[in-house]
Amino acid sequence: MDFPEARRGEIFSLFVGLALFFVLAAALLPRISIPAIIARMQAWANPHRTQIDPLLESLGLEAGSAEQGALAEAIQGGLPRQFLIGSGPELSEQSVMKVQIDDFQPADLAEWAIPLYWRSRTYDRYTGSGWQTSPVAMQFYAAGELAQEPAENYLQLQQSFEILAENSFIYATGEILSVDQDYQLAWRTAPEESPDFFAGIIRRPVYRVTTEIPTASEADLRATPRVYPAWITARYLPLPASLPSRVSALARELTRNAPTPYDKARALETYLRTYKYQLDLPAPPQNRDLVDTFLFELQKGYCDYYASALVVMARSIGIPARLAVGYTRGTYDSTDGKFIVTEKNAHTWAEIYFVGIGWVIFEPTAAQAEIDRAATGEESHLGTMPAPEGDVQDSTQRWDVTRGVRWLSAIALGGILLLGVWWILEAAYLRWLPPSKLAAHLFNRLYDYGPRLGAPPQRGETASEFATKLERLVTHIYEQSGRSKNLSELSIDLWKLRQFYLRAIFSSQPLTRVEKNELLHLWPGVRRQLRQAGWLYFGQRKWGFFHRQKLRPIS
């Protein structure tokens, strides 16, 4: 692109500054959580909400603690995914965690039989517009201490997590047995009675967790008893009285020919996967049931809608179900041996309870791979989760977005700081100069603008002649461009600057400090007007901007 040689430095600084600004904005915007901002504004507007105090009392947490903030937000009613590291369905490529599974090899991915979901919380109470949890009790565990006794016929997994974003929840696939550092778990029911997990809290972002996963085949799931424990039916079957009857009617119709609870759950799961997946949706109506709206009006949505529908429909036909929140497995890095999980992997899914087996994941969301449980025996470990194309990446061919953004952010911040320091030093230098030298320095700066405006200083030209020529040029450029506003002010400021310069050079009486302050006050306006005139002149001369006729030079 053509540009005036005399303005190389100014053009360079302008575009470098713009580039640094946009890089910094791109790095910071994904970290801004709109729901979190709204929640804080609501808390500020109504600080005496009654829901939080009983929560803190039941958890035994002190006000203001990090744990209190994390759990208090998670326990509030609403669509659970808004309490993840990302915000709502508008999720980004920002990495949130790295996960490594012991003894996992890249070649195992296509045949890996466990659906990997990094769960953080579960919800049991459907309100008609979202989800809440029943009262919970916090229990503290030392590093390595068992949170519950291992069950028979369960597969144990060791997973190492590196949380890259600010978050204190414990993420894991399966039921948590122990963690390699002090941790806390919030239970709806005491683990020694019948463990009912809500959420876990940890202080350090790097941890190793041991979990257990049921190893039931499809045949095992079909053979489970249909008589559920009392605490399961009391907690995981209730629905709001306001739930429209057509929701349960649809569930009964879809499962009419299914002989077992597993087949019924699969029938519901298969039906919901026919709905269109879409992120761009309006907020759910406040006075309408969320699931009813999704099933009969929207008939499209994202994972919160799908999972809520499956849980509610399963409960309506007597199958205990709950909602789980966390992340899907992410992208596997074959070199590091880790799964890279980003904000876009934030997910909500359904879990169905089977007697003697426990909670089993069901995936109703159409955008996610279907869980295949056709295989039998321990070898299947709940079936195969197909690997999407390109899900395994070689780090030699993969651009680490998070690391790149961090480096670019650091460079951008450094550049902005350097520009800020330069502006501060320049202002300090001008204030440091004596009044007469300041006048001479600023007037000499005017000579830099002559070539940019098409009128470089001529040999034998006096200061007064050059200042007059410069004023005429600027006036002509602004008039031709239809931007003659504030020209009179510019003419006065240029005249003052010239007079101060002539006095500093030729008068025996030096300038006063008051006149120096006047110089410092008028110079930023003069400089801004001259720079704008330079851009107008360059644009008009090269491309005919701002006016139909080419700018004519004046003598």
Q: What is the pLDDT of residue 539?
A: 67
What tokens does 396 get? 């030699």
Residues 149 and 175 in one domain: yes
Residues 166 and 258 in one domain: yes
Contacts of 301 (CB under 8 A, 6+ apart): 275, 277, 278, 281, 294
Task: Report the CATH number at residue 248.
Answer: 3.10.620.30
Number of domains in the chain: 3
Q: What is the pLDDT of residue 280?
A: 81
Q: What is the pLDDT of residue 554?
A: 43
Residue 295 is given by DSSP the state I
Determine the Cα–Cα distance for residues 368 and 306; give it in Å rounded to an integer. Answer: 11
Residues 185 and 144 in one domain: yes
Residues 481 and 415 in one domain: no
* Low-confidence stretches of the chain (pLDDT beneath 70): 1-11, 28-91, 105-113, 190-193, 374-406, 481-488, 539-555
- Which pTM does this prediction carry? 0.58
How crowded is residue 380: how many other Cβ atoms within 10 Å of its Cβ? 19
Residue 46 in domain: no
Q: What is the pLDDT of residue 307?
A: 95
Q: What is the pLDDT of residue 524?
A: 83
Q: Are strands 125-126 and 346-354 parallel, antiparallel or unpaired?
A: unpaired
Question: Cβ distance 481 to 546 under 8 Å?
Answer: yes
Determine the Cα–Cα distance for residues 151 and 483; give it in Å rounded to an integer. Answer: 80
Range of the domain at 406: 1-32+399-432
Residue holding tokens 């690391």?
Answer: 403
Determine the Cα–Cα distance for residues 349 and 365; give it in Å rounded to an integer. Answer: 8
Question: Cβ distance 234 to 191 under 8 Å?
Answer: no
Q: What is the pLDDT of residue 508?
A: 73
Interior angle at CA 92, CA 90 and CA 95, nearest 5 = 140
Residue 155 in domain: yes
Residues 444 and 307 in one domain: no
DSSP reduced 3-state for 488 = helix
Residues 192 and 272 in one domain: yes
| Residue-wise pLDDT tens digits, 447-490 | 777 777 777 777 777 877 887 877 777 777 777 766 665 566 77
Residues 146 and 184 in one domain: yes
Q: What is the pLDDT of residue 378?
A: 43
